[in-house]
């Protein structure tokens, strides 16, 4: 079914807010581009974003807030430089990457220890986040590999079938995405050039570093000041394969069912019903738990490479490749 497109009346915004709180997807306007929003603290809702976008991998998402107060719930610390940037540029097209609190699901941050937060100035985005009363995770509302939509007419037909409601706020003011900065205690690094110019940042915090080659692949080793990778080696099994018998302590990541013929030191099951959305929502949690279980090696069952299964396998392969 194709999602209804509604003008952003008070009633439509209230309806959109209800959908978000209940785990649905809403396309909404921001001052930069249209966003594809979901409840940021609901891992299953966030999994639907990746499904809707057909993303072959999990990229970390920006979490949208209505004001600075909401940041305290999401981030461990807000360094002084970040506060000054927030004071100057919020609400507006500046995204800050800050250390995350555990409440932010790993699927939002692709397992990174940081979360990107942004407070949009668009009145419809503002009203929606306030009405929902929750932080909203939202990438640009385009299928993977397409241009970001800056008006409702740009929103791809396939995406319209996968969301619950579209709020039409007319054309976006900037039409380019927000500028993304990583803010550490000792300095500011631009990860994506965007609607706030570098010069404007430097007027507030002095010289900044620009490392935009990393913006598309923030999970690549070494490209971010801190990045997450499981410490335990991971091997991906082929279909039907069982881990070799060895003296090692083995962790096992099952897709649907824990193995019954062998005991492992730790076992996690992604989705007993074989639901790829649930599997995606649980992937990073399961990896974290296996990683913390004191095993020597983790064996992961493959999942079907359809829909979100592609992103799950991509993430597993990256985790496995980091060990090579």
Q: Is residue 295 within 8 Å of 266, Cβ to Cβ?
A: yes
- Contacts (CB under 5 A) with Mg ion, residues 134-163: 140
Residue 23: left (phi > 0), alpha (psi -120 to 50), or beta?
left
Closest distance between Mg ion and the C-beta of residue 139, in Å?
5
Q: Which of 227, 191, 220 is nearest to 314 (CA)?
A: 220
SS3 category, 210: strand
Region near ligand TXA per CB under 6 A, out of 110-118, 198-206, 228-236, 267-275: 110-118
CB nearer to ligand TXA: pick between 191 and 316: 191
Closest distance between ligand TXA and the C-beta of residue 28, in Å?
8
Q: Which of 112, 184, 127, 138 is nearest to 34 (CA)?
A: 138
The Cα–Cα gap between 233 and 173 comes to: 47
**Residue 32 makes contact with Mg ion by CB under 5 A:** no
Region near ligand TXA per CB under 6 A, out of 58-66, 81-89, 153-161, 288-296: 58-66
- Run of H or E including 129: helix 123-132
> Mind giving me the DSSP string for 155-195?
S-HHHHTT-SEEE---S-SS-SPPEEEEEETTEEEEEE--S
Closest distance between Mg ion and the C-beta of residue 49, in Å?
11
**Residue 315 makes contact with ligand TXA by CB under 6 A:** no
**Residue 178 makes contact with Mg ion by CB under 5 A:** no
The Cα–Cα gap between 194 and 177 comes to: 5
SS3 category, 137: strand
- Contacts (CB under 6 A) with ligand TXA, residues 287-306: none
Q: What is the CA radius of gyration of the chain?
A: 20
- Contacts (CB under 6 A) with ligand TXA, residues 218-277: 218
Region near ligand TXA per CB under 6 A, out of 39-47, 174-182, 264-272, 283-291: 174-182
- Residue 232: asked if its preceding bond is cis (omega within 30°), the reply is no
Region near ligand TXA per CB under 6 A, out of 6-14, 67-75, 93-101, 268-276: 93-101
CB nearer to Mg ion: pick between 181 and 234: 181
The Cα–Cα gap between 222 and 29 comes to: 34
CB nearer to ligand TXA: pick between 19 and 107: 107
**Residue 271 makes contact with Mg ion by CB under 5 A:** no
Looking at 115, 155, 190, 312, which residue binds ligand TXA (CB under 6 A)?
A: 115
Q: Residue 24 touches which of ligand TXA, Mg ion, none (CB < 5 to 8 A by kind)?
A: none
**Residue 40 makes contact with ligand TXA by CB under 6 A:** no
| Bridging pattern class, strands 62-64 and 136-137 | antiparallel
The Cα–Cα gap between 5 and 38 comes to: 17
Looking at 25, 43, 82, 116, which residue binds ligand TXA (CB under 6 A)?
A: 116
| Chain centre distance of CA 76 | 18
Closest distance between ligand TXA and the C-beta of residue 25, in Å?
13
Q: Residue 97 touches which of ligand TXA, Mg ion, none (CB < 5 to 8 A by kind)?
A: ligand TXA
Q: Which of 187, 188, 194 is nearest to 215 (CA)?
A: 194
Site of interaction with Mg ion (CB under 5 A): 140
Site of interaction with ligand TXA (CB under 6 A): 30, 32-33, 35, 59-62, 93, 95, 97, 109, 112, 114-116, 118, 138-140, 177-178, 180, 191-192, 215-216, 218
């Amino acid at each position: 079914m194709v999602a209804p497109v509604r003008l952003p009346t008070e009633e439509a915004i209230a309806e959109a807010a209800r959908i978000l709180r209940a785990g649905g997807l809403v396309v909404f306007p921001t001052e930069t581009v249209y966003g594809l929003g979901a409840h940021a603290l609901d891992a299953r809702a966030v999994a639907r974003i990746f499904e809707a976008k057909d993303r072959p991998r999990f990229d970390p998402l920006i979490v949208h807030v209505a004001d600075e107060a909401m940041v305290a719930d999401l981030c461990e610390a807000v360094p002084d430089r970040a506060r000054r940037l927030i004071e100057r540029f919020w609400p507006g097209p500046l995204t800050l990457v800050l250390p995350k609190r555990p409440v932010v699901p790993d699927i939002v941050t692709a397992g990174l220890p940081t979360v990107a937060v942004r407070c949009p100035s668009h009145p419809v985005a503002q009203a929606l986040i306030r009405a929902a009363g929750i932080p909203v995770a939202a990438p640009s509302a385009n299928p993977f590999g397409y241009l970001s939509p800056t008006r409702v007419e740009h929103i791809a037909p396939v995406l319209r079938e996968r969301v619950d409601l579209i709020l039409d706020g007319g054309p976006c003011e900037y039409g380019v995405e927000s500028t993304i900065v990583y803010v550490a205690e000792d300095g500011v690094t631009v990860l994506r050039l965007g609607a706030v110019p570098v010069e404007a940042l430097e007027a507030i915090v002095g010289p900044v570093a620009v490392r935009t080659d990393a913006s598309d692949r923030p999970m690549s080793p070494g490209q971010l000041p801190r990045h997450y990778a499981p410490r335990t080696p991971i091997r991906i099994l082929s279909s039907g394969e069982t881990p070799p018998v060895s003296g090692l302590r083995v962790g096992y990541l099952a897709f649907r069912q824990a193995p019954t013929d062998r005991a492992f030191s730790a076992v996690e099951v992604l989705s007993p019903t074989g639901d790829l959305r649930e599997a995606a929502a649980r992937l990073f949690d399961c990896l974290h738990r296996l990683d913390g279980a004191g095993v020597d090696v983790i064996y992961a069952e493959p999942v079907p490479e359809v829909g979100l299964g592609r992103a799950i396998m991509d993430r597993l392969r990256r985790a496995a490749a980091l060990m090579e």
